[in-house]
């Protein structure tokens, strides 16, 4: 009986293999995947073991900022599926399906902005230069025409345990009916800065109002992912003197009314100044609401002014977004960026060597947002728009809380946390 069934079993096996080969997607260089940032993904430790969580491993999170699906061939491709797989060695930790509706949403926005001739916004939002530098256009939707790319953005991933790679894959159908496949494996690096950094402001109590967490607005673009915003507040939690009604009526006209205004900004590490931007063209007088101006009118006027400045190619985009700013090059290919500095407050020039803790500027509110605060980040290049930010731990701060000693240094920046900067 066993002998009788062997040929049948062999036939079934052969047919299964043949059918699989018929339906298997073909991997071809005509269909390509790229991601932003390029090279590797940096995870953030979201929750350490302890203080309410008693698991066996910390939780990590990371953001796939942008995934590009590129057609290098000569016929249309119709994107049919995609996935993100997270690995620890050979073990699959998690798989997430790519939502094709999200691809269509991102495509619609990208094409709209591209049609306005506002490629700068796409570079900031999607790191679009990864494809546009190769003269690739934006696909019409799920159909990816030759020499175009479809994209999807902002996949936030949370994993128990530290992964070491992420594989992105996608399947598409050619116009001739052939199924094609593309995939890209990206290493995950638990990056630690190669230099020691201090908190970049004078000693005192400071409030970190934006940080690399899921609720932080910086986390969702590659150029700002690990950056922080720093300011001072009073016992009410207010950034400035005055009452809410006064603010609504535009009665806080002086930057000196903001608690952080004019405070010293310090070099976070030894280095050389490689850029100084101090030609900001948006003075406070234009930021203030005018007499009788409704809030919608105010928003419209400010938006129009920003758009005019950004579309003017003679302007430095970093100065429009970051206002007056300083960039310092440090050892080991790291750069620190200090933005929204006060008018007339910059104390250094390009080419100056600076020491850690040196006074380099006064804190202000120039740039895209009139609220007084310091935007600080460490990046892998001096370009605000084309760099990737790097996570940084500071050597001279503590949590201003009776339970501060319980906080892990990598977890300091959480909602409601104030930090104290040591002398």
4 inside domain: no
pLDDT of residue 353: 98
State the Cα torsion 17-18-23-25 to the nearest 10°: 70
414 vs 331, more confident: 331
End-of-domain residue from the set 126, 160, 187:
187
% of the chain residues with pLDDT over 90: 54
Tell me: the pLDDT tens digits for 49-67? 887 888 889 999 999 999 9
Same domain, 227 and 315: yes
Same domain, 346 and 401: yes
- What mean pLDDT comes out for the span 313-333? 89
Question: In the structure, what pLDDT confidence band is assigned to residue 250 with cuts at 50, 70 and 90?
Answer: low
Q: Which structural domain range is residue 43 located in?
A: 26-187
End-of-domain residue from the set 121, 155, 187:
187
Least confident of 265-274, 354-363, 402-411: 402-411
Same domain, 143 and 216: no
Residue 70: both structure tokens together: 């590129």
Tell me: the pLDDT tens digits for 200-229? 999 988 888 888 888 888 899 888 999 999
- Name the 3-class secondary structure at 294: coil
Tell me: the pLDDT tens digits for 141-158? 999 999 999 999 999 999
Same domain, 267 and 152: no
Tell me: the pLDDT tens digits for 372-416? 899 999 999 999 888 999 999 898 887 666 555 555 555 555 555
Same domain, 254 and 134: no
- What mean pLDDT comes out for the span 355-362? 98
> What residues pair up with 41 in beta bridges, in sequence order?
188
- What mean pLDDT comes out for the span 232-239? 82
Same domain, 120 and 219: no
% of the chain residues with pLDDT over 70: 85
CATH of the domain at 118: 2.60.40
95 inside domain: yes
pTM: 0.86
From 327, 330, 329, 365, select the one nearest 345 (Cα to Cα). Answer: 365
CATH of the domain at 417: 2.70.70.10
DSSP H helices, 312-403, are 317-322
pLDDT of residue 404: 56
Same domain, 39 and 122: yes
Number of domains the chain is built from:
2
Most confident of 15-24, 46-55, 153-162: 153-162
228 inside domain: yes
2 inside domain: no
- Beta strands in 37-189, from DSSP E residues, in sequence order: 44-47, 59-71, 77-88, 91-97, 137-138, 143-144, 148-160, 165-174, 179-187
Question: In the structure, what pLDDT confidence band is assigned to residue 286 with cuts at 50, 70 and 90?
Answer: confident
From 69, 255, 72, 83, select the one nearest 167 (Cα to Cα). Answer: 83
6 inside domain: no
196 inside domain: no
pLDDT of residue 83: 98
- Name the 3-class secondary structure at 187: strand
Q: Which residues make Cβ contacts (< 8 Å) with residue 255, sequence separation at least 6? A: 261, 262, 284, 342, 364, 365, 372
pLDDT of residue 2: 38
């Amino acid at each position: 009986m066993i002998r009788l069934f062997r040929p049948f079993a062999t036939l079934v096996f052969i047919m299964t293999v043949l059918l699989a080969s018929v339906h298997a997607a073909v991997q071809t260089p005509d269909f390509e995947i790229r991601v932003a940032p390029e090279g590797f993904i940096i995870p953030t430790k979201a929750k350490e073991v302890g203080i309410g969580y008693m698991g066996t491993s910390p939780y990590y999170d990371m953001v796939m900022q942008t995934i590009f699906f590129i057609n290098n061939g000569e016929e249309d491709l119709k994107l049919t599926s995609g996935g993100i797989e997270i690995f620890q060695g050979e073990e699959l930790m998690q798989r997430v399906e790519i939502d094709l509706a999200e691809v269509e949403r991102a495509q619609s926005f990208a094409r709209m902005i591209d049609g306005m001739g506002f490629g700068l916004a796409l570079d900031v939002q999607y790191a679009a230069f990864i494809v546009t530098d190769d003269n690739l256009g934006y696909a019409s939707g799920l159909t990816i025409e030759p020499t175009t790319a479809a994209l999807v953005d902002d996949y936030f991933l949370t994993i128990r345990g530290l992964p070491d790679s992420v594989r992105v894959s996608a399947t598409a159908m050619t116009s001739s009916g052939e199924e094609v496949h593309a995939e890209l494996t990206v290493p995950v690096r638990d990056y630690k800065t190669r230099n020691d950094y201090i908190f970049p402001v004078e000693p005192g109590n400071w409030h970190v109002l934006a940080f690399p967490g899921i609720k932080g607005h910086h986390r969702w673009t590659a150029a700002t992912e690990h950056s922080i915003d720093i300011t001072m507040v009073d016992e009410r939690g207010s950034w400035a003197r005055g009452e809410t009604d006064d603010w609504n009526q535009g009665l806080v006209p002086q930057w000196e009314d903001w608690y952080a205004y004019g405070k010293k900004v310090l070099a976070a590490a030894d280095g050389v100044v490689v850029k100084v931007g101090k030609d900001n063209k948006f003075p406070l007088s234009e930021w203030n609401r005018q007499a009788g101006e409704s809030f919608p009118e105010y928003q419209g006027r400010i938006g129009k002014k920003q758009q005019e400045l950004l579309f003017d190619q003679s302007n430095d985009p970093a100065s429009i977004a970051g206002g007056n700013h300083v960039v310092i090059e440090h050892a080991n290919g790291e750069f620190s960026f200090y933005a929204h500095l006060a008018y007339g407050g910059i104390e250094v020039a390009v080419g100056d060597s600076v020491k850690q803790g040196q006074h380099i500027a006064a804190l202000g509110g120039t740039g895209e947002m009139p609220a007084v605060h310091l935007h600080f980040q460490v990046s892998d290049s001096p370009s605000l728009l084309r760099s990737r930010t790097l996570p940084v731990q500071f050597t001279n701060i503590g949590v201003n809380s009776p339970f501060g000693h319980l906080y892990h240094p990598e977890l300091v920046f959480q909602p409601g946390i104030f930090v104290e900067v040591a002398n």
